[in-house]
Amino acid sequence: MDTTLQDPLVGQVLDGRYRVDARIAVGGMATVYRAVDTRLDRVLALKVMHPSLAVDASFVERFIREAKSVARLAHPNVVQVFDQGADGSYVYLAMEYVAGCTLRDVLRERGALQPRAALDILEPVLAALGAAHRAGFVHRDMKPENVLIGDDGRVKVADFGLVRAVDTVTNTTGTVLGTVSYLAPEQIENGTADPRVDVYACGVMLFEMLTGDKPHDGDSPAVILYKHLHEDVPPPSASVPGLAYELDELVASATARNPDLRPYDAVALLAQTRQSRERLGADQLDALPPQAVTLEHDNADDRTSVIPRSLTVPRLLPVDEDAEPEVLRTSRLETPPPPPPGRRLPRRGVVSIVVALLLVLGVGAGVWYINSGQFTKVPALLTKSEAQARDQLEEAGLKVGEVSHAHSDTVERGTIIGSNPGPGARIRVNDSVSFTISDGPETVNVPDVAGDRLARAKERLRSDGLEPGMVTQEFSEDMDKGYVISTKPAAGTERRAGSAIALVVSKGTPVDVPDVTGESEEDAWAELQEAGLSVKVSPRQVTSDEFDKGQVAAQSPKADRRVAEGTTVTLTVSKGPEMIEVPDVVGDSVDDARKALEAAGFQVKEDRGLLGLFGDTVKGQSVEGGETAPKGSTITIKIR
């Protein structure tokens, strides 16, 4: 059965513009649809955030802010972002539609790839990430699902939904954003995300392309996370004997557990990848992978997830046989990892782990009894009105703490943006909960920048919380060249903060260019300067049958064009017609003389007089043989 028929969005038009035709894919954070932009009549991909996440105002604002940043990242291997918006509870991105499949589809169908094919996919991925890294962004969620392979063979990186600035350290309390199988150790341990986490994920993808399997597996996310922290990614040749050493080396470099040992960004890894390819022979690049076994692929581990930190820092301390074992040392009790292979915990260590797990699960009757009446959970206040929030807190036995206000692009004015502690947090009865109320989008008035130089006008727009938009030029009788005439929208108009404001800049007073062709260079210069124009003479002169030597043969801009005062007009001066040598035809027959002169490029005129009416011999010529005359001019021959 086609499940897209059950999707409430299919067949709807979002934001009065995007008609949703079919569901393409479902991820951990959003659903992707094929849609049609009814205004531009083009097919695109519409990524709609799951409603459960769309109620988190901070998550939505980050989603929008980062989408705007990625929209400025123009690269042929990056899926472009066209638009962003919200329609009711639906927050969406309009993106480039790539007809084809994902790298996950290829791996699921074919298993391991030939090294050449793996590198052919990896290199454009690294080129896209390299552009992002050099522009100041980190993807943070690289995986085969986010590598699109078009029907035309083009490779594109998608889903920059978790992108962060390079110099930003992710410090989401108690959580890590990402996909379990591709998380770098530093992401798991402390949430750090710089370009090297993308490098690590690409190393894992390369391993998977070469072997058809992931480097670390396990029965639970905690086991996989533990292996990323404590076990190196094995060399691909251990799974596929015969793979070149250079490929093992490339995977090891990209997936080093110590980030300082990895290439510092995707550009550096791309250079290393190309060097490795150059060292491989054709037989090594085209080595056939082993017969792939079709496996059922569980997408659960490949979804972008919000992973509790309690599952992401499972570190066992050394065990002292004679001392009381300290099982876990973290900010709170955590899910214990399995012991490293070949090593067993002592009996007392196992008992301690079991006790810790029982405490975490709250199955100790005494603990349950003591805590049950003293604690409650913070109700979900997001998108509620202030009155509703107060009522819900009172019903939960909680007090209202500090009430603050903040602007929001996505949450309706007068409703709750967020609370502290957050929804679902465990809190003592009668404690206070603070919340923030949305003041709606921040708006500012467009400043009056007319009369400012362009650079100054842009500075003033930015200082007022707006962005300089498209710059167009117009003639102006009143404003000097380079100064702002007006803005679109006009000064004083209220606009949302961050909006782009178009600027109209003066090209100066308009001047009609006079026609100076045929004039001497000196006269043309004087006439143009008198009209308020600058003059430049081209060093290249041209031959001309129309204009004599020293006359202006051409001008740019041409006559009657309207240009700004001070515009430079370039003059090209004639060096006169082309001069060629005249052949000597005296004594020749009339026919022979005519043929010789015409072949040389001249026109011929006959002068027979009274005595030459019946003659056939040339007795003279208007320009003597051996002299020069303008090409195309007329030579008169006298016949007697």
The pLDDT assigned to 161 comes to: 52
Q: For residue 61, report the phi and psi dihedrals to the nearest 5 degrees.
A: -65, -40
Per-residue pLDDT of 133-185, as tens digits, reads: 888 888 888 999 999 999 888 999 987 755 554 443 333 333 344 578 899 99
The pLDDT assigned to 170 comes to: 38
- 202 and 274, same domain (yes or no): yes
- 450 and 401, same domain (yes or no): no
Which of 42, 70, 96 represents a domain boundary (last residue)?
A: 96
The pLDDT assigned to 436 comes to: 92
Which residue, 227, 215, 225, is CA-closest to 254?
215
Q: Which has more confidence, 508 or 164?
A: 508
- Helix, strand, coil shares of the chain, percent, nearest 5, are 30, 25, 45
- 135 and 175, same domain (yes or no): yes
CA pair distance 559, 555, nearest whole angstrom: 8
Confidence at 66, pLDDT banded by 50, 70, 90:
low
Q: Which amino acid is at 479?
A: M
202, 184 Cβ separation under 8 angstroms? no
Percent of the chain with pLDDT over 90: 43
Confidence at 25, pLDDT banded by 50, 70, 90:
confident
CA pair distance 226, 217, nearest whole angstrom: 10
Which residues lie below 8 Å from residue 215, measured CB to CB, with a gap of 6+? 204, 207, 208, 233, 234, 255
- Indicate if the pLDDT at residue 357 is higher than 50: no
Evaluated on CA atoms 414, 420, 422, 428, the torsion sign reads negative
Q: Is 383 helix (H, G, I), strand (E, B) or coil?
A: coil
Mean pLDDT of all residues in 607-633: 85
Q: For residue 510, report the phi and psi dihedrals to the nearest 5 degrees.
A: -75, 145
Furthest-apart CA pair in the chain: how many Å? Answer: 145
CATH code of 161's domain: 1.10.510.10
Mean pLDDT of all residues in 335-349: 43
Indicate the pairing of strand 467-474 with strand 500-506. parallel
Mean pLDDT of all residues in 381-407: 90
What beta strand segments (E) does 430-542 contain? Answer: 432-438, 443-445, 467-474, 484-488, 494-496, 500-506, 510-512, 534-537
Per-residue pLDDT of 35-45, as tens digits, reads: 999 998 899 99
CATH code of 532's domain: 3.30.10.20
- CA distances to 94, 114, 192, 504 from 253, in Å: 36, 20, 19, 52
CATH code of 77's domain: 3.30.200.20
The pLDDT assigned to 295 comes to: 41
- 193 and 272, same domain (yes or no): yes
Which of 526, 556, 573 represents a domain boundary (last residue)?
A: 573
SS3 track for 295-312: CCCCHHHHCCEEEEHHHC
- 499 and 521, same domain (yes or no): no
- 282 and 388, same domain (yes or no): no
**For the purposes of burial, counting CB atoms within 10 Å of the CB of 171, is it exposed (0-12), middle (13-18) or buried (19 or more)?**
exposed
The pLDDT assigned to 372 comes to: 42
Which residues lie below 8 Å from residue 160, measured CB to CB, with a gap of 6+? 66, 67, 70, 73, 78, 81, 132, 137, 139
- 17 and 76, same domain (yes or no): yes
CA pair distance 348, 473, nearest whole angstrom: 80
- 467 and 588, same domain (yes or no): no
What domain count does the chain have? 7
- CA distances to 127, 471, 580, 605, 634 from 625, in Å: 71, 65, 11, 16, 14
CA pair distance 462, 449, nearest whole angstrom: 12
Cross-strand partners of 43: 36
- CA distances to 110, 153, 278, 558, 567 from 561, in Å: 64, 48, 57, 6, 11
CA pair distance 229, 316, nearest whole angstrom: 11
Q: Is 298 a catalytic residue?
A: no
Name residue, tokens 């204009």: 547
Q: Is 617 helix (H, G, I), strand (E, B) or coil?
A: strand
Per-residue pLDDT of 282-294, as tens digits, reads: 989 988 876 543 3
Which residue, 554, 477, 575, 566, is CA-closest to 528?
566
Which residue, 297, 105, 342, 301, is CA-closest to 218?
301
**Options 141, 213, 409, 452, the catalytic residue:** 141
The pLDDT assigned to 534 comes to: 92
Which residue, 387, 392, 384, 393, is CA-closest to 416?
384
Per-residue pLDDT of 453-462, as tens digits, reads: 999 999 999 9
Among 62-71, 212-221, 284-293, 390-399, the range with the most confident prediction by mean pLDDT is 390-399
Both tokens assigned to 276 = 């490795």
Report the Cα 330 to chain-centroid distance in Å.
38
Confidence at 448, pLDDT banded by 50, 70, 90:
very high
Q: Which of 292-306, 423-437, 523-537, 585-599 has the lowest mean pLDDT?
A: 292-306
Report the Cα 280 to chain-centroid distance in Å.
32
632, 577 Cβ separation under 8 angstroms? yes
- 258 and 395, same domain (yes or no): no
CA pair distance 298, 309, nearest whole angstrom: 23
What beta strand segments (E) does 300-380 contain? Answer: 305-308, 375-377
* CA trace torsion 125, 131, 135, 140 (10° rounding): 10
Which of 397, 420, 438 represents a domain boundary (last residue)?
A: 438
- 159 and 252, same domain (yes or no): yes
Confidence at 409, pLDDT banded by 50, 70, 90:
low
- 608 and 631, same domain (yes or no): yes
Mean pLDDT of all residues in 2-30: 81
- 129 and 199, same domain (yes or no): yes
- Indicate if the pLDDT at residue 317 is higher than 50: no
Confidence at 337, pLDDT banded by 50, 70, 90:
very low
Per-residue pLDDT of 102-143, as tens digits, reads: 999 999 988 999 999 999 999 999 999 999 888 888 888 899
Q: Which has more confidence, 10 or 290?
A: 10
Note if the pTM is more than 0.75.
no
Range of the domain at 28: 3-96
Which residue, 218, 307, 296, is CA-closest to 29?
307
